[in-house]
Amino acid sequence: MRRAALILALSALPAAAEPVALSVDRPFGALHGTLETAPGPARAAAVILPGSGPTDRDGNSPLGLRTDAYRLLAEALAAQGIATLRIDKRGIGASAGDPDAVSLAAYRADTEAWIAAIRAETGAPCAWLIGHSEGGLLALDAAGLPGVCGLVLLAAPGRDLGALMRDQVAQQPALAPALPAFETALAALVETGAPDTAGLPPPLAAIFGPATRGYLRELVTTDPAALLAATDLPVLILDGDADIQVPPSEGDRLAAARPDAPRITLPGMTHTLKRAAPADDSAAALTAASLATYADPSLPLHDVLVPAIAGVLLAPR
């Protein structure tokens, strides 16, 4: 597995300016986000695309996710002179819209509006897309939009979502017995759009809810590696070896699709972009330490994460 050299030293960092609330108008109402900048002209600009579900602009969710990861990332990048816009997806946080009435095309249109907003606010000629988890897939889908500088893929899937979900189900003892029924439901979703969920436990049946089936079908039939291979934009592929949701093997597939792209796997980094501190080397200890980072917003980001991203965004071209 290749690892890119880190080329940015963190020293004499400017203080970040006060965050600014931004909104963009869409046909269904306004989307809301937060712009972080440092004093003076922006050296680069980036839109942070959040992960799946009701994850808000700060990296938190009413489902129990409390990380502040996107806020911490935005503030740290702003201190490097990189303007960042972190957003609430439609129907999430302060943004209007139905969170279930979504599609790749809908999110792409929203991303295009956010790119225009940060460029207008900062004067940047283009904006990077920093996509975390499912947000990485959305960044890949939006790579062809005007005004995109490049992509930063943080713990992004390298296979279609169905393949990743099969692995996740198989690895959970309480759900693993339902894997055959889950695979049958996935196949029916792709073939007919109407999966049979009768044999699934409630947590898995909920994934196939009628309101979100169309979007799920898109995710299950979209190959992130193929999307990556189709773009020649600058790309950074970054993941952590303590990620129990999207393991580095997903990044391996992305790296194979774009062997020219820098690839960094950070030791000890979890899916929340923070460092796990397991009590020992056992799988159980690693899982427990990783999960602990999902519920403690006071934990800092992995110490190498920001210099790794900034080194790519600020590299001369």
The per-residue pLDDT for range 244-273, each reduced to its tens digit, is 999 999 999 999 999 999 999 999 999 999
Q: What is the pLDDT of residues 17-54, one digit of tens each?
A: 789 999 999 999 999 999 999 888 899 999 999 999 99
Distance of alpha carbon 253 from alpha carbon 3, whole angstroms: 15
Spatial neighbors of 302 by CB under 8 A, at least 6 apart, are 240, 266, 268, 269, 273, 274, 275
| Amino acid at the residue 112 | E
In angstroms and rounded to an integer, the radius of gyration of the C-alpha atoms of the chain is 19
Report which of 138, 143, 176 is spatially closest to residue 156, judged by C-alpha positions: 138
Residue 10: the pLDDT is: 39
The H or E element spanning position 117 is: helix 104-122
CA angle 116, 120, 123 (to 5 degrees): 120
- Eight-state DSSP code of residue 269: B
Q: What does each of the 317 residues of the chain score in pLDDT, given as a tens digit?
A: 333 333 333 344 455 678 999 999 999 999 999 999 988 889 999 999 999 999 999 999 999 999 999 999 999 999 999 999 999 999 999 999 999 999 999 999 999 999 999 999 999 999 999 999 999 999 999 999 999 999 999 999 999 999 999 999 998 899 999 999 999 999 999 999 999 898 899 999 999 999 889 999 999 999 999 999 999 999 999 999 999 999 999 999 999 999 999 999 999 999 999 999 999 989 899 899 999 999 999 999 999 999 999 999 999 87
Report which of 248, 258, 263 is spatially closest to residue 226, judged by C-alpha positions: 258
The tokens of 308 are what? 């790794």
Domains and CATH numbers, the chain: 20-159+223-312 (3.40.50.1820), 164-212 (no CATH)
The tally of CA atoms less than 13 A away on the side-chain side of residue 316 is: 0
Cα of first residue to Cα of last residue in the chain, in angstroms, is: 25
CA angle 33, 18, 237 (to 5 degrees): 55
The tokens of 110 are what? 């929203």
